[in-house]
Amino acid sequence: MILQEIEEERGGMEMHYTSLLEEDLLDAAELYCRAFTGEGFSNEEKESALRNIQKDTTYEGYTGMKATDQDGRLAGFAYGYKSLPGQFYRGKLEEQMTQDQADFWLNDCFEFVELAVDLSYKRRGVGSSLHDKLFEVVRNSTAVLTTSISNISAVSLYEKKRWKIIKDHAPVISSRNLQVIMGRESPSKAIHQDKQAAAVPSVHKGGVAGRW
């Protein structure tokens, strides 16, 4: 359980950050539709979004975070779950990676599935805070996400938060909707990798061992 945290975002706006729970999912589905479809979304689109989110919450390692404003209105949410063999999207990611990439990124992996912010709170720091607070409680060694190649602002945000591009223009689901696959190491894993690299001596052309 994520305890409630209160932060003041840009413009003096106060936001409350707590766990995304079952009773929040209908509001989350409506927000998802507004954010990605627009205000004119249909009941069918809302019901489809709700089914998808509900299904995702049943996966092992599900972790979700929501942001609510001073009036209790949902301003955004973020969630993911543990990536495991046999999951549909896990299989799609494996198809796009080399074996070495899959071994590194998917062995103990949190799949960052969704980050959605209400249009009225865009560019006010809510998405950034949701990301950070979610990953404060994620304990997997790595995380992966996919986003559209046209979503330049999202890629830029993630790169600022230590995500790396694993593969660009990847037809994860369809060649008509190319994706960027990104990965993020946990701070402890990144430190371990740096220490390992520092411990391996490099060899100059003259045969003298040492770091260049």
What confidence category does residue 206 fall into, taking pLDDT thresholds of 50, 70 and 90?
very low
| pLDDT for res 192 | 45
| pLDDT for res 117 | 96
pTM: 0.84
| pLDDT for res 10 | 54
DSSP code for 127: H
Percent of the chain residues past pLDDT 70, beyond the cut: 83
**Concatenated DSSP letters for 101-156?**
HHHHHHTTEEEEEEEEE-GGGTTTTHHHHHHHHHHHH---SEEEEEEETT-HHHHH
| pLDDT for res 201 | 46
For the beta carbon of residue 39, count every other beta carbon within 10 angstroms. Answer: 7
Quote the CA–CA distance of 126 and 30 in Å, as a whole number: 18
SS3 category, 30: helix
What H or E segment, with its residue span, contains residue 105?
A: helix 99-106
What confidence category does residue 6 fall into, taking pLDDT thresholds of 50, 70 and 90?
low
pLDDT mean over 154-167:
96
pLDDT mean over 143-161:
96
Q: Tell me how long the chain is.
A: 212
Please write the tens of the pLDDT for every residue from 76-122: 999 999 999 999 999 999 999 999 999 999 999 999 999 999 999 98
CATH number assigned to the domain covering 5-197: 3.40.630.30
DSSP code for 3: P
pLDDT mean over 31-35:
96
Quote the CA–CA distance of 21 and 47 in Å, as a whole number: 17
DSSP code for 98: -
Query: What does the block give as tokens for 43?
Result: 């009941």
Phi and psi (nearest 5°) for 81? Answer: -155, 175
**CB contact at 8 A, 3 and 16:** no
Mean pLDDT of the chain: 87
What H or E segment, with its residue span, contains residue 83?
A: strand 74-83
Q: Where are the domains of the chain?
A: 5-197
Q: Which residues contact 49 (CB under 8 A, 6 or more apart)?
A: 29, 30, 32, 33
DSSP code for 92: H
**CA-based diameter of the chain, in Å?**
70
